[in-house]
Structure 1
Amino acid sequence: MTKVIQPYAGMIITEDVVFEPGEYSFPNSKGLIIAANGITVDGNGAIIRGRGKIGNIHSYDGTGLYSNGYHGVTVKGLELHGFKTGMKITNGSGWVIENNDLSDNYTDPDYGWGDGESVGALMLERVSDSVIAGNRGNRVWNGLDLKYAERNRITGNIFSHCTNVCLKLWGSSQNEIDGNVMSYGIRIAPGEVHARDSTSVLIESGSNDNRILNNDFTYGGDGVFIRSLNGFVSTGNYFEGNDASYAHNNAWEVWDPGNVFVRNKGNHSSYGFWLGGSCHAVLIENEAAYNGLRIANAPEKFGNAGIAVVNGSSSHFTMRRNRIHHNKSVGLAIGYKEGYEASHWIIEQNEITDNDTYGIYMKHAKQLYIVGNRITGNGSGDIHQDINVSDVIVGEAEGEPPIARADLLTERPRARYAVQFDATASRDASGGSQLTYRWDMGDGTIRETAKVEHIYEQAGFYRVGLTVIGTNGTADLDWIDLNVLHAAEQIKHRVDVNQALLAAVVPNHSAVLTRSDDQTRSGEGQALQLQAASSLVRLQLPIPAETSALALSLNGSELSFWIKFSHETWGGFPSSAFTVRLKQNDSQYVQWVSARPLFEWTQIASEARSGWSNIRTPLTGEQTGWVQSHAGHPDLNELSRLELQIASCGGNFTVLFDEIVFV
């Protein structure tokens, strides 16, 4: 028979319990501790109060309920108030957390910029396959905070009036978040403009493939903010039926690629959708209306827009059947910068009406297919092309779109050799193949057949885009992020990554060197993967001394390699984070130190945030971007070790290397 007991401060629970109803004071803020698997804690309406007093941020302490490393636990019907954190669960699975009230724990409306501590109502760290339902966590710092939490179902909760965020995801993937109220995530003083980056929802650092449905995210600093300050993108997330309106700044602010938005609202905010950096995005049947009227923070030169896809890349972008109307200035603003234009868009069957200036405003943009839209009643004109706009098609279209599919047939593309592409798996709306094809090969070449063979003269990254157009005028797009390797005859020596070893780890916190079967690897065989939390790591690989001697004797020699990287800390890689050495021994070597932020994706391409990048170290000739020096007096005919040194400013990071070659 389940025990009916009174809770007390510091209580360790190892069996099923039911609390006696009533109010209990824990003045030392030592909370409950769950220390068993498969048990049920039924709060039965019990109210437990820590020492925290509303209005005194220094009075909050402790955690109302804590557990680490246990599974299959149910906690229900419990009220926890006045703690630094209401409930915190770490390293668990199969939890059911339902119908608890975690309101009125720590909050600080006067805190400045920054995220602060992960405290507030409910903190879940490395918790998976659990149910969080029917809980409340209002008037706190963070409402629901997920860190490395996966495959959880979160439904019917109210986490609202939070002074930092109502919902936060950090490295948290494959969760279903449905039918919650997570509104009023805002921290702002009267007359303040930017709300200190507070937001109803914050998603960052590799939070992927979540389904976020039918939630109330209104009245935040932002409504939903997908942020990648550390360059570690969150992608593959699906949003449907959510309302993020009445935000102080942006109802939706998204910096990351590959997310899908269906039937969401972004109204009555400074901007409805701010999507610079959102390559590969899909927007279907969303509404962006009345933005810039109630409030108009951070206006661009074109004003406040319903949807603004500017100040960041936007390649391979699809918009269908959205309603963009009655915004203060532009309905839809598109553009990035000269040399990196917004590119390869489909804008199809949208209603873009009654905006104060232009329906669509474009600057630094190309390859836009604008068909079947109703664009009318816009004050300054329906479509405006500012500077550096090209290859825009405007026309009529009706009916369902085709489905584009771009396949790369060549397994390891190399420069100077034919690379094969195939779009014959594309289908029109009826399942047939009556399509028009248009390939952008990424090097300025356009091809218009279903199958293409193309030769790339130089190794490197190419942004390949496919557009297919049906007989009814509707279109679809697909793309390939193409990594072209050096031709075999260009390679003087390929370094064997299987012989790599860790030569130094400083301090000796954590560094693991493995082989990776990353499906997007660039070169032959397995890639080399380094996972570390140390401030300096050195990898060494043996090379023939004659390879080094030859490379240093030929003008224009390079060490070429492909990297893929992520770091959980913003600014975790300093500007001189990478050093290449050709070593005779530890005191005699030649080195090249990166003089530019090698691990800064903005210096490469948006795709570098989640894909491979080709890096070349000039060993002879012009040393742009690198500083060469010598240690000791190395014999250039005796340099038989390649050393790769990575510096970090703290935090966990991962770097993959592939196709390390002398050319």
Structure 2
Amino acid sequence: MATSPCFRGAVRGATALVVGLVAILGRGGPPARAAERGVLEITADTVLDPDTVYGALIVRTSGVTIDGRGALLLGAEAGDPKSFTGSGVRAAGVSGVTLKNIRARGWERGLHVSDANGWTIEGCDFSDNFHDPRFGWGDNGRRGGMLLERVDKSRIAENRAHRVWDGCLLVDSDDNVLVGNDFSHTSNTCLSLWTSCRNRIVANRLTYGIRIDPGEVHARDSTCVLLESGSDDNRLLGNDCTHGGDGIFIRVLNGWVSTGNVFEGNDCSHANNNCVEAWSPRNLWIRNKANGGSYGFWLGASDQNVLIDNEACDNGRLDGPHNSPHLPDSSHAGIVFMFGPSSHTLLRGNVCRGNHGAGIAAIGDLSSEGRDWKAFHWVVDDNLLEDNRWGIYLHHADMLDLAGNRFAGNALADVFDAGNVSGLITHRAGQGGGESRVGLSGQPPRAVLAGPERVRVGDTAIFDAAESFSPSGEPLQFRWQLDGHSAGSAVRLERVLAQPGFHRLALTVSDTAHSDLAWRDLYVVDSSAELGTEGVAAGWRSEDPSSKVVFTIDDTQRLVGASALRAVADPYSGGRMTLVYDLPGPATPIDGRESVVVWIRARNPHVPSWQGVNPIITLRDAAGRECALSPARDLLGSPSAPEAREGWLRIEAPLAGGDGWTRSGESIDSVTGIGFGFDSWGAPPLDIRLDGLHLQQGP
């Protein structure tokens, strides 16, 4: 390889060129084969020669600028893209780097940066790297165009990645800006976020993220945009996410939800499956387009979501995508909540037109006929619902307020009660009236709720809505519900709560025409003295010798008392790991004790999360005898309330077994140790908190 006179560097062996100072690398000649091109190790500002074909580039030094001027980093020159290996550009632990105008082709990853911050990546092309459009369902590795791992506060602008597995993948990467990129025509995702938070994603082309064969019904979880595993507080604004398997997909394969995200002005239309699919609470959707897919918005287990001024039109039509018809008569919907709870939902100002099914559908649990959960506590105001089969379709639903919705041309019904619908109120603004008052003033009432999130058994809990207001000065009405039962209509609610566990409190505040929501995820905790979870970490140990578990006192995420116990297993062996508390002093008799009680809050980043049943509780006596209490199902993988995916789960295991628990092992009459066993499918670090541990007295 010829170099310019300003090249300052040396050859390391036969395969590495160290680039120092400011260099212009390469001049003319035919492209070299991969083995001949070598590896460029960048230690200073560097300019590449656009007429030279290079091999891989490794950035060794922070604060440098690399200007490729369109130069190509070539890996494999031919072959199946799923066989490509290596990274065109690799950097680890270096920050403040500017990378621009590079092309990288024929690699497993065009760019791979890890453990860095303050990067600027602009004007680069990472197309034609690892690509596998024939791959089936499941994970196929982190590969394709750009992979950023633990990269923060960086700017990614005006780059391109086509014909790759993932266009751009952020893993544990926060506070980045992605603007004006073209990551499209991918076989898995155009943009993926895994445990990546507070990123700002603006005006990118993220289209045709789809993996599907001719005649295939589903698109194998391929999507234009994927958020997974605690990707919180991101803002996606004005992106083109059309023609994907899904448009935007918030997936929860391991129970780790992604919340607080804002999606505004994105076009997610023409998806093979769902223009938007989400399974997480507390996300905000404003002025997005979700038209021409099988479903517009499919939101399952998506409590506390807000949808304002979106379009969800022409979905499920027989002349377009119409996969997985789950409403009656092979129907679909513009906006549907089903196959998961949907508590505290606000839909305002959305347009649902021409859907082959419902404009809006609120559907509770079909298998239990609404006994396990209902579509609960909704406000549906000022939506336009026309030319659908049903305007609003309700089934197994409770505590809904409708106002100001406009209907026209819905073939079967404007509002259809499919059964088991209660607490439905239509306010004075009426259904099918003219322009809505909220639409004219933009000022619905505001529900403001003051009150605790946790109380002790037997204490009086006070909840006050006195700060709620109507901007137009109209009088307010209040409607309370606690655990599925009416709790009155006063401005203030007082309750003595005798039953420990999770409780769902709902408040609807209405003026003469419209409504607003407030709620509490309420934990009622036992008042018994704790064993090992209050200010104690030294008495704990792990019985898995292949895992390293660190026990600490946690006073930031606690539920009972002043602290919880935190156990972090890193590394974790991947097998059954038992956390044991050795009780101090003499053995504790279990005569008169009824159950073991503990609150658990656990995070398992592995997909698909927990294995077998969890937790398995063991009790031991001074002679080494032990018995085990095993739940009938995995309580961590399938908690009793969806809120426990991110919150606390109360476990109560009867010492004699029964009530969903099986006792096995030896007979004991006293306890010197209590263990909690956990098992995951994989071996990621596990983060487990325990609180409120005690042996419950019998009546």
Match of 1:510 in 2: 548
Give me the whole-angstrom Cα distance separating, in 2, the residues matched to 1:10 and 1:586. 64
Instruction: Identify the residue that residue 216 of structure 1 maps to in structure 2.
Output: 240
- Looking at structure 1, the residues matched to 458 and 414 of structure 2 have their Cα atoms a distance apart, in angstroms, of 45
TM-score normalised to the size of structure 2? Answer: 0.88
The answer as to 2:37 corresponding to 1:12 is: no
Rounded Cα–Cα distance in structure 2 between residues aligned with 1:119 and 1:655? 30
Distance 1:164 1:394, change over 3 A: same
Report the AA paired with residue 579 of structure 1: I
Question: CA 1:346–1:641 in 2, change beyond 3 Å: closer, same or farther?
Answer: same
2:124 paired residue among 87, 96, 100: 100
2:485 corresponding residue in structure 1: 444
2:324 corresponds to 1:285: no
- State the alpha-carbon separation in 1 of the partners of residues 309 and 387 from structure 2: 18
**Residues 507 and 536 of structure 1 are in contact (CA less than 8 Å); yes or no, is this contact kept in structure 2?**
no
Query: Equivalents in 2 of 1:43, 1:436: separation in Å?
Result: 65
Change (3 A) 1:412 1:198: closer
Partners of 1:572 and 1:271 in 2: CA distance:
28
- Which runs of structure 2 are paired with 1:350-365 in the superposition (5 Å)? 350-355=383-388, 357-365=389-397
Aligned to 2:423: 391
TM alignment of 1:43-442, pairs within 5 A: 43-53=68-78, 56-57=80-81, 59-293=83-317, 294-302=320-328, 303-337=331-365, 338-339=370-371, 340-355=373-388, 357-397=389-429, 398-399=437-438, 400-409=443-452, 412-430=454-472, 434-442=475-483
- Report if aligned partners of 1:205, 1:234 keep a CA contact under 8 Å in 2: yes
- Looking at structure 2, the residues matched to 518 and 618 of structure 1 have their Cα atoms a distance apart, in angstroms, of 30
CA distance in 1: counterparts of 2:64 and 2:291, whole angstroms = 45
Aligned-pair CA distance for 1:354? 1.1
SS in 2 for 1:137: strand
Structure 2 distance, partners of 1:475, 1:492, is 43
Q: Measure the CA separation in 1 of the matches of 2:400 and 2:78.
A: 57
For residue 79 of structure 1, report the CA deviation from its aligned partner.
0.6
Cα–Cα, structure 1 residues 496 and 522, in superposed 2: closer, same or farther, change >3 Å? Answer: closer
Q: Distance in 1 between the 2:272 and 2:379 partners? A: 30
- For 2:450 and 2:38, the matched residues in 1 are separated by 62
CA distance in 2, matches of 1:485, 1:43: 61
Following superposition, the deviation at residue 14 of structure 1 comes to 0.7
Residue 195 of structure 1 aligns to a residue whose secondary structure is: coil
Query: Counterparts in 2 of 1:433-582, with a 5 A limit?
Result: 434-442=475-483, 444-471=485-512, 473-486=513-526, 488=527, 491=528, 494-500=531-537, 501-519=539-557, 521-532=558-569, 533-534=572-573, 535-543=575-583, 548-549=588-589, 552-554=590-592, 557-582=594-619
Cα pair 1:496 1:541 within 8 Å, conserved = no
SS in 2 for 1:305: strand
Post-superposition offset of 1:462 = 0.5
Letter in 2 for 1:658: D
The answer (yes or no) to whether the contact 2:543–2:579 under 8 Å persists in 1 is no
Q: For residues 53-88 of structure 1, give each alpha carbon's deviation from its aligned partner in whole angstroms, at most 9, with x where no partner exists.
A: 26x235412110000111100100111111111000
How far apart, CA to CA, are the structure 2 residues paired with 1:604 and 1:180? 39
Quote the residue 2:3 is aligned against: none
Partner residue, 2:16: none
Distance 2:117 2:495 in 1: 50
Contact preservation (8 Å) 2:172, 2:194: yes
Alignment partners' CA distance in 2, 1:412 and 1:332: 34
- Residues 25 and 19 of structure 1: is their aligned pair in 2 closer, same or farther, counting only changes over 3 Å? closer
- Quick check: 2:344–2:519 contact (8 Å CA) kept in 1? yes
The size of the alignment, in residue pairs, is 642
8 Å contact from structure 2 (residues 144, 164) kept in 1? yes
Could you give the per-residue CA deviations for residues 229-278 of structure 1, whole angstroms, max 9, x where no partner exists?
Answer: 11110110000000000000100001111100000000011111101111
Of 57, 61, 71, the match for 1:32: 57
Compute the displacement of 1:376 (Å): 2.0
Residue 626 of structure 1: aligned partner: 661
Q: Report the CA distance shift for 1:17/1:604 in structure 2 as closer, same or farther (over 3 A).
A: same
Distance 1:586 1:326, change over 3 A: farther
d(CA) in 2 for partners of 1:425, 1:542? 49
- Cα distance in structure 1, aligned partners of 2:580 and 2:548: 17
Q: Which amino acid aligns with 1:653?
A: L
What's the TM-score once normalised by structure 1's chain length?
0.93
- The answer as to whether partners of 2:69 and 2:101 remain within 8 angstroms in 1 is yes
Decide whether the 8 Å contact of 1:115 with 1:164 is kept in 2.
Answer: no
Seen in structure 2, the aligned counterparts of structure 1 residues 58 and 493 have a Cα distance that, compared at 3 Å, is closer
Gap change, CA 1:455 and 1:574, over 3 Å in 2: same
- C-alpha distance in structure 2 between counterparts of 1:518 and 1:383, whole Å: 46
TM-aligned CA distance change 1:25 to 1:493, over 3 Å: closer
Contact 1:437–1:468 (CA under 8 A) maintained in structure 2: yes
Identity of aligned residues (%): 38
Aligned to 2:694: 661
User: Residue 584 in 1 paired to residue 627 in 2?
Assistant: no
Q: Look up the equivalent residue of 1:360 and give its one-letter code.
A: I
Q: Structure 1: which 5+ residue stretches go unaligned?
A: none
Aligned to 2:632: 595
Query: In structure 2, what is the Cα distance between the partners aligned to 1:544 and 1:41?
Result: 62
Distance (whole Å) between structure 1 residues aligned to residue 632 and residue 428 of structure 2: 51
Q: Distance in 2 between matches of 1:5 and 1:349?
A: 63
Letter in 1 for 2:605: E
Counterpart residue identity of residue 655, structure 2: L
Structure 1 residues 336, 548: closer, same or farther in 2, change over 3 A?
farther
How far apart, in 2, do the equivalents of 1:625 and 1:518 lie?
A: 32
**Are the aligned partners of 1:443 and 1:462 in contact in 2 as well (CA < 8 Å)?**
no
Does structure 2 retain, via aligned residues, the 8 Å contact 1:219–1:247? Answer: yes
